[in-house]
Structure 1
Amino acid sequence: MKRILVPTDFSAHADNALKIAAQIAKKTNGEIFLLHMLEVPNQMNDAITGSTAIPEVMLFIKKANETLQKTKDKDFLKAIKVTESVKFESAFEGILSFCRKNKIDLIVMGSHGVSGIEEVLIGSNTEKIVRLSDAPVLVIKKNTTEFKPANFVFASDFSKEIKKPFKKMIKFASLFNAKLNLVMICTPNSFKPTALSEQIINDFMSGFDIKNYSTHIYNDVNIEKGIRNFSNSINADLIGLCTHGRTGLAHFFTGSISEDLVNHAIKPVITFRI
């Protein structure tokens, strides 16, 4: 993962994500793409450049570029190649477009999470990126200052469709010599006998040549709470998931475990698209 994108709104959460991205870039000898999305009202799109440019818009652009340059010059980014960009597009659409054009390997984003009616009505750009990004997304929480994921939880149903993204998960874990704690969450709505659950995980793992892992079956009232409670019980450093890019009514009715975890988990979460 050598091409790392860090979207920034210049908040403390974004700055914290950038610090973690810098640690990963040093580990992989990678480069960082620092992106600020400037959402200009539609009626102003034609006035961004040229002789008719609106002074207020040009001021926003100038300030954004100045702040990006100051961010790029921070001490923790020394010796790392950093490319900064300002783009004019809605945040999540612009981020996804930038990823495709620049062949990004990993997105690192900060999140403080939302809850209650705010979560239902507007969600967050981070959640949308988690749902729709083809590149893995690492979501950093406000209390994360050092990224050493020695104890890595991977929660899954261990179906065949998970095998391809799981290969990327293994590569990421190996960068940090992390132990993988493979867990299947059993709930009243998705109950499986322990023997069957163990057989599913063992059959899944038979195609992979890795040694530093353990398997677990954990019971809880729902999958999201099960993942959080299990992760807390083993003092995990990172939670990993594979996610579907569901949209529209299918997403509304089924929900998204990945997005719920991004909002509610205290620990960093990394997602890989199926």
Structure 2
Amino acid sequence: MKKLLVPTDFSKEAENALKVAAQLAKNHHCEIYLLHFIEMPLQQIDVINNHSDLPEAMFFMKLARQKFEEVLDSDYLKDITVHDIVEFGENFANLSNIGKEKGADLIVMGSHGASGLKEMFIGSNAEKVVRTSEIPVLVIKNEHDNFDINDFVFASDFKNDNKETYKQASELAEKFNAKIHLLMVNTVSQFSTTTKAKNRIKNFIKDYPFDNYTVNIYNDTSVENGILNFSKDINADLIGISTHGRQGIAHFFNGSISEDLVNHAKKPVITFKI
């Protein structure tokens, strides 16, 4: 983990994420790419050169630079290499491409979540990023004076298509020196006996050397509630989950547990794209 991409609108939620990114950068010797989007109609922008002669664009560019200067002067960023980036057009779905272009290993972003009709028809920016990003996304809701990860819940159905994401999660846990709590949630519609569920989990992880883990089967009314309640029960520091990144009509009807968690969990959530 060498490069972190942190999108910012200079809000309190974005600052919470940047403070966590700063702690990660100091602990793991990372660089930070701090990205701000300027909302302008794309037809009025020279997209190739990321430039515009419009007075409005120049004004917002100057304002962004002033904001960057204020942020970069923060004590918590001292001795960290921070690259500031301005992009025209608010396209959070493109964040993963920017991350890949910069060689980012992790996207760290703040969120206040979304609910009700806003969640159904618009969704939070974090949800959009989680849905499309091939880079792991760490979503921060609150301020963390000390972002210490000791107990890391990794929730899964433990089918084979999740194995690569578990590899990423276990490598992250090793960096944090954290214990992973492997979690399968039982619901009425998706029920498995404890013996069968534990055997599936043990077969799933048998080829991985990481051994600082617990195996947990939890019963609840929904998978999302099970993850949230179990995480609360053990006072977890981080929730990890895989995402299929469904889009379009499939996403509207099927939804995504990872996106629901991003919107509703108060604890930090990290997502890994299958």
TM-score, normalising length from structure 2?
0.95
Alignment of 1:80-229 (within 5 A): 80-229=80-229
- Mapped to 1, the partners of 2:190 and 2:249 lie a distance apart of 22
Offset at residue 243 of structure 1 (A)? 0.8
Offset at residue 26 of structure 1 (A)? 1.1
Counterpart residue identity of residue 186, structure 1: N
Counterpart residue identity of residue 85, structure 1: I
Counterpart residue identity of residue 109, structure 1: M
Counterpart residue identity of residue 26, structure 1: K
- Mapped to 2, the partners of 1:154 and 1:46 lie a distance apart of 43
Map of 2:61 onto structure 1: 61
Alignment of 1:38-49 (within 5 A): 38-45=38-45, 49=51
Offset at residue 54 of structure 1 (A)? 2.2
- Mapped to 1, the partners of 2:36 and 2:20 lie a distance apart of 18
- Mapped to 2, the partners of 1:62 and 1:94 lie a distance apart of 23
TM-score, normalising length from structure 1?
0.95
Offset at residue 261 of structure 1 (A)? 0.3
Offset at residue 176 of structure 1 (A)? 1.4
Map of 1:10 onto structure 2: 10
Offset at residue 204 of structure 1 (A)? 0.8
Query: 1:143 and 1:70, CA in 2 relative to 1: closer, same or farther beyond 3 A?
Result: closer
CA RMSD of aligned residues (A): 1.5
Q: Is 2:241–2:272's contact at 8 Å kept on the other side of the alignment? A: yes
Query: 3-state DSSP class of the match of 1:131?
Result: helix
Map of 1:256 onto structure 2: 256
- Mapped to 2, the partners of 1:80 and 1:99 lie a distance apart of 19
Query: 1:256 and 1:146, CA in 2 relative to 1: closer, same or farther beyond 3 A?
Result: same
Query: 3-state DSSP class of the match of 1:84?
Result: strand
Offset at residue 94 of structure 1 (A)? 3.9
Structure 2 alignment gaps of length 5 or more: none
Structure 1 alignment gaps of length 5 or more: none
